[in-house]
Amino acid sequence: MKIKTEMLKNDWKLFELSNDNGMKVNILNYGGIITNITVPDRNGKPENIVLGYKNYEDYVQNPVFLGAIIGRVAGRIADAEFSLNGEKYELEKNDGENHLHGGSEGFHQAIWDARGFQSDTEAGVELSLIRKEGEDGYPGSLDVKVTYTLTDSNRLQIDYQADTDKTTALTLTNHSYFNLTGDLKRTVHDHQVKIDSSKFVELDDNLIPTGRQLDTSGTTFDFREERNLSEGFNSSYEQNKIAGNGYDHYFIFDREAGEKVTARDEASGRKMVVETDQPGMVMYTSNSMDSSLELAERASEKYLGVCFETQGSPASLQHESFPEIILQAGETYKKKTVFTFLTED
């Protein structure tokens, strides 16, 4: 296991974690952003399997949140407001009339304190951040830690921890766009995905949850058996069309333990397994991405990546029976998501 650190301008640091299997993960302390994950294909050829910018300066704008830690609340908050313990909190409207991914100065825009660590079996980076009450419209000051750990068994573990001095809303995630073809050779049309979920959250025309949880059975949202993402891209189902002919929906996991998601690309032989103690996730298939982003390998395009944003649901602030995102004062937020990378013959 190895860790290398490179100093960039603006107090940015780039950490490179690597193991003896040819796997490598690059992480910025700016936004806690994963800029590159290199994984071998079935023939042992190492290639990058996430979307990242060619120029680091582009992470300052980063309109599509490539690879970033998202907080305080991942996802959209309807009308950019919520009530908690009898008080109303008004947030920045940075997505039409709604609040998205913690606002324009969310965790994806922060310079985190960073500390690298390594042993014989793992290498990682611990990131920490303090947010004062009033800095972003949310109640309470927050002490946050996010730890990335790469193991010698090709597991990338993300541990999230946070403490607050006042009851607040919080759900954190990572916003990496995965493309298992390697070096963005193709779109994710032929990615075969399996999700442990029989219910997903209905969206309105503004991508805001309606409060209804729909049964996946008989729809292009039923991933309990593996299916190609392209089935949703080409579907006439209204929920696919609302999202720009794809997916931008919250899936509620059926089980608390075990594998929650698998994704694989048959041509390269790469397979990714996602385990998490989060209650659900947003799967986003880059439906609104255009050709304007200069990525490391080539220009961006629609369907070039797929995000698996494991998290609670912001819809719980407006609707009952959704996975909660309230962190009580004095409690500690602790969540974990693990991405394991394999190859198949």
pLDDT tens by residue, 267-276: 999 999 999 9
List phi, psi (to 5°) of 50: -135, 160
Q: Which sequence positions are flagged as catalytic?
A: 175, 309
What is the residue whose two structure tokens read 């394999």?
342
pLDDT tens-digit series, residues 184-218: 999 999 999 999 999 999 999 999 999 999 999 99
**How many whole angstroms separate alpha carbon 99 and alpha carbon 105?**
12
Beta-carbon contacts of residue 61 (< 8 Å; ≥ 6 apart):
none
Per-residue confidence (pLDDT) for residue 258, from 0 to 100: 87
Contact yes or no for 326/169 (Cβ under 8 A): yes
The burial class, CB within 10 Å (0-12 / 13-18 / 19+), for 98 is: buried
Question: How far is the C-alpha of 161 from the C-alpha of 145, rounded, in Å?
Answer: 5
Number of domains in the chain: 1
The number of beta carbons lying within 10 Å of the beta carbon of residue 311 is 26
Which structural domain, as residue segments, surrounds residue 196?
Answer: 2-343
CATH code of the domain covering residue 332: 2.70.98.10
How confident is the model over 5-24, as pLDDT tens digits? 999 988 999 999 999 999 99
Sign of CA dihedral 42, 44, 45, 50: positive
* Beta bridge pairs of residue 40: 46
Report yes or no on whether pTM surpasses 0.85.
yes
CA 115 to chain centre: 22
| Residue 284 confidence class, pLDDT cut points 50, 70, 90 | very high
Query: Which of 220, 228, 142, 214 lies closest to 180, judged by CA?
Result: 228
